[in-house]
Amino acid sequence: MLIDVMKKRASVRKYDKNKEVSEELLNALLEASARTQTMGNLQLYSVVVTRDDQMKEKLSPAHFNQPMVKGAPVVLTICADFNRTTEWCNNRKAVPGYDNFLSFMNAASDALLFTQTFSCLAEEAGLGVCYLGTTVYMPGQIVDVLNLPKLVMPVATLTVGWPDETPSLSDRLPVASFVHSETYKPYTPKSIDEFYTPKEQLPENQNFVEINKKETLAQVFTDIRYTKRDNEALSETFMQTLKKQGFIS
């Protein structure tokens, strides 16, 4: 059952180098993932499978050289794709109108839902996966390496392999912190304390604050991991790539 898998899942970053992920298993998981709901049944995504070492080497810098890219037997780059549908229209006397931002959002949604079904299915099959959020940081590099045409934009990357580690579960906020009944209930200093104090008191997070020489855990995020300056620069880069790929003008 997926629910049992989810309750003990964690991202896996180290993979067994001697055990391959067969073409057969990978295709079976991709095929089942494609049962995911999709806009107008258009399946607005594509998946580029990287197995070749040289290709992993080329993708690696776009992911800040995180070792999973070169260490995983399989790297999947999942893309928002309106190119295939547009080509279909062009071949069927239909005039497509998908070179706009809404179409990007529609295709990105399809792609991300597909990605997560795949992730669940892969973990249920015993594989380990790691989601690389870096995909949206330097999408232009990925576009170049994978030869992505217009109306194709990378939105997610999964590294996949048989686990060579058993990572411990990371903490999560309580359900009450992210679920709102009927309307959105504003947070207060009191509710923030209630929801975040247990996380802040975890030894690993206290250690995280200490080694980064910060006063609070939140400062580790704002000052080091996800800074305003980086976010603004990367927003610009992302928009430029969206433009290059034809989703905005």
Interacting positions 36-95 with its own copies (CB under 8 A): 36-37, 39-43, 45-52, 55, 81, 83-85, 87-89, 91-95
Site for its own copies in 162-221 (CB under 8 A): 170-173, 175, 177-184, 186-187, 189, 192-193, 195-196, 215-219, 221
Residue with tokens 């549908």: 85
Q: Name the token pair of 49.
A: 């499978």
**What is the enclosing helix (H) or strand (E) of 46?**
strand 45-50
Q: How far is the CB of 151 from its own copies (least distance, A)?
A: 11
Q: How far is the CB of 163 from its own copies (least distance, A)?
A: 15
- Classified as helix, coil or strand, 203 is helix
Query: Closer CB to its own copies, residue 172 or residue 211?
Result: 172
x-marked contacts with its own copies along 210-239 as a string, rule CB under 8 A: -----xxxxx-xxx-xxxxx-xx-xx--xx
Q: How far is the CB of 78 from its own copies (least distance, A)?
A: 10
> What span, in angstroms and rounded, lies between the C-alpha atoms of 155 and 233?
18
Selected from 17, 19, 65, 101, the binder of its own copies by CB under 8 A is 101
Report yes or no: 149 and 48 within 8 Å, Cβ to Cβ.
no
Report yes or no: 158 and 133 within 8 Å, Cβ to Cβ.
no
**Span from 13-21, 63-71, 143-151, 159-167 in contact with its own copies (CB under 8 A):** 143-151
228-244 vs 139-146: helix crossing angle, rounded to 10: 40
The 3-class secondary structure across 137-175, one letter per residue, is CCHHHHHHHHCCCCCEEEEEEEEEECECCCCCCCCCCCH
Q: How many residues bind its own copies (CB under 8 A)?
A: 117
189-201 vs 203-211: helix crossing angle, rounded to 10: 90
Q: How far is the CB of 30 from its own copies (least distance, A)?
A: 5
Selected from 155, 157, 159, 246, the binder of its own copies by CB under 8 A is 155
Q: How far is the CB of 207 from its own copies (least distance, A)?
A: 15
Q: How far is the CB of 118 from its own copies (least distance, A)?
A: 10
